[in-house]
Every structure is written in C-alpha cells, then in structure tokens.
Amino acid sequence: MLLKNSFLIITLFGFLFCAKTSLAREACNDGSPMTADIMNCLMIDYEKSDKQLNTLYHTIIQNLSVPEQKQLKSSQIKWIKSKDECNRFYNDMEYGHEGRFSVVVCQTQKTDSRIKYLTIYQQCYQVSSQHSNIKSCLWDEYQKLDQQLNLVYKQVLSKSSNEKQKDIKKDEREWIKEKDIACNKYKNINDKNSSRIECLIERTQEQVSILESQLKENE
C-alpha cells in the first residue's frame, strides 16, 4: 500500500513540482539550477504559506467558544500529522535530490489546501450562528469547489493530446478512489459530517491546484 501511495503522490505532484520550482525561482529572482538554490527558493515558498496558515489559524481560534476551540485544535493536530506524511514518500536514497524537493512541494501544497479550508470555515462561521448551519455552509462551499475542479479538469483535457488524455483520465480515476478511501472513513449517518467535509475540501483543493499547474504547463 505504501508503494502504491508513493507512486500516486509522485504522479500527482509531478506537474505541481515543476510549476512550484519555476514560481519559487521567480520569487527569488534566481534561475540557478543548483540544488541548494532551488531548495532555498522552495523553502521561501513554503514558509510564506506556513506563516499565512498560522496567522489565519490563530485569528479564527481566538473567536471560537471553548468546545469549538477544542474541535479545531483536534482537527489541526490531525492535519499536521497528514502533512508530515509527505516525508514518508520521498527520501534521498530512493529519489535523490528530487525527493527533498518533492517533500517541500508536498508540504506547501497541503498547507495551501489547509488555508483554503480554514478560510472557508472562517467565512461560514461568520455567517452561521449554529453548528449545523456551519456544516451546511461548508458542504455548499465544497460543492462549489467540486464544480471548479470539474471545470479545470475539462480544460486540461481539451488542451491535451488524445494519448495524454488517457493518462489524465486514469490519474483522475485513481485520485477519486484515493479521495473516497481517505474521506469516507469519516462518513456516518449524516452525510454532512464536518470531518468528512473538511477532508473533501482539502483533497479537492489539492487536486484543483495540481490540475491548474498542469494547465499552465500546457499553455
């Protein structure tokens, strides 16, 4: 299972790695091909996202009730563990320097997806007075994100060759399968369980970012 997951994650983050590396170099104003320079630029990108996430998290949690704070803290701890799993899939022995690059890219992508979720959570909390309403709001936002994913997916397909389309469709089926496995473990009688919605939003946002990066590569 670990090898299978490793292959899937490498495939999904391949396009994102290229785009992130390019953006990081631009941010550093440095086109150096040196490993240390590339890593430095990728770290700048990650640290920027990490700082943004920490600021957002503390802004949200200070306005929550004690039970809500407890729930969000628990959610954040679980997310940190999931982000740390990036380290399991890449190592110098197996993937060389690209392994270290991919760890940072993976962590940055997960951090950006967490920012997306917490931003949605904050917006829903501000407009909803009851927890059930927050869950309904989160579900509606997930539906919008899913529509965005479908749109980007179709755009990527339209700009790809027939042969490439086969690979893209296969990758998308694999992603859907992995998403369902990861998120359905939170499923209970209530389809709008908040933990499941959180998982769906973050997984979908990750895939949107990957496909958007792929779309830019095709332009």
Contacts 24+ apart (CB under 8 A), 89-95: 89/5, 89/6, 89/9, 89/10, 95/10
Residue type, 119: T
Its pTM stands at 0.76
What is the tens place of the pLDDT at every residue in 142-157?
A: 999 999 999 999 999 9
Confidence (pLDDT) at 24: 41
Segments in 85-96 forming alpha helices (H): 86-89, 92-95
Res. 215 pLDDT band, cuts 50 70 90: confident
What is the tens place of the pLDDT at every residue in 112-145?
A: 999 999 999 999 988 876 556 888 899 999 999 9
Interval 176-180 mean pLDDT: 93
pLDDT at 218 over 50: yes
User: How far is Cα 20 from Cα 37, in angstroms, rounded to an integer?
Assistant: 14
Confidence (pLDDT) at 219: 67
Give the tokens for residue 185.
């473990």
Task: Show Cβ contacts of residue 90 under 8 Å, excluding neighbours closer than 6 positions.
Answer: 98, 99, 100, 102, 103, 106
Res. 189 pLDDT band, cuts 50 70 90: very low
Residue of higher predicted confidence among 36 and 161: 161
Helix (H, G, I), strand (E, B) or coil at 129: coil
Selection from 153, 154, 207 nearest residue 180 by Cα = 207
